[in-house]
Amino acid sequence: MSPKSLILRNLRFIHVPRGGLMKQAKSQSSRQWIARQERDQFVKSAKVQNYRARSAFKLLEIDDSFRILKPGNTVVDVGAAPGSWTQVAVDRVNAIPTDASQPEGMVISVDLLRIPPITGANILDHSDFSHGDVQDKILSLLSGRRVDVVLSDMAPNASGVRSMDHERIVSLFEAAWEFSKEVLTENGHFLGKLWDGEHVRRLKGDLHPFFRSLKVIKPKASRQESSELFLFARGFKRYLLHTSET
């Protein structure tokens, strides 16, 4: 028997169904995701406290530290689905209102995806924030009032290419910032999500002249392995816009 025949004789062939390896990889990835969710204290706490997502604790932590949201505030929350930040905002600005001794706030929530109704919030779901007609709808709901806080938790679907994902989230951040310049009141605040990368320093430089303080925040509720961070700009200097126009 030739060496080639001997090799073929001793080989064991395994039949793999079409797409089998891909399904196995997806199944393993799903199991890992489920296991991570089950271990995650913020996921557990979100269920107990009836928040729609663990991301609520990012905003809670930031607000506890910096007192961004106050009763009577007007808030625009972009990238709001499924609505956990909106839930926090509605409660903290007294948008329902539950405390008759405090002024009543207003929350407008926008996202491309569906946002199930939230009592006290004005929902604009299935809406692309970058489109002018969607921003016009926000302005219509505001009816001429200025905004105290703009929250942006917008993020693209991650491609896995870090540089590309960074560019895309920067574009979303800049869209929220440009809108903020139009609607923020004097001394208003802007909080926007980014993924760490080369443009963070530039964005800090872009925003710095328009605010009294600027801070990069990595909440404890952000996953340790994530490049997620938040740029918090406090105390909008609206008068600078008037100065530049004259």
Active site residues: 193
> Rounded to an integer, what distance in angstroms lies between the CA atom of residue 74 and that of residue 83?
17
What is the three-class DSSP state of 136? helix
Q: Locate 64 and state its tokens.
A: 């506890």
Q: In what order do the strands lie in the sheet with 74-78?
A: 121-124, 106-110, 74-78, 147-152, 184-195, 228-236, 211-217
224-239 burial: b if 16+ Cβ within 10 Å, else e:
eeeebbbbbbbebeee
- Prior bond of 103 cis (ω within 30°): no
> Rounded to an integer, what distance in angstroms lies between the CA atom of residue 38 and that of residue 41?
8
Task: List CB contacts of 192: < 8 A, sequence separation 6 or more.
Answer: 150, 151, 152, 154, 173, 176, 177, 230, 231, 233
Please answer whether residues 77 and 110 qualify as being in contact, where contact means their C-beta atoms are separated by less than 8 angstroms.
yes
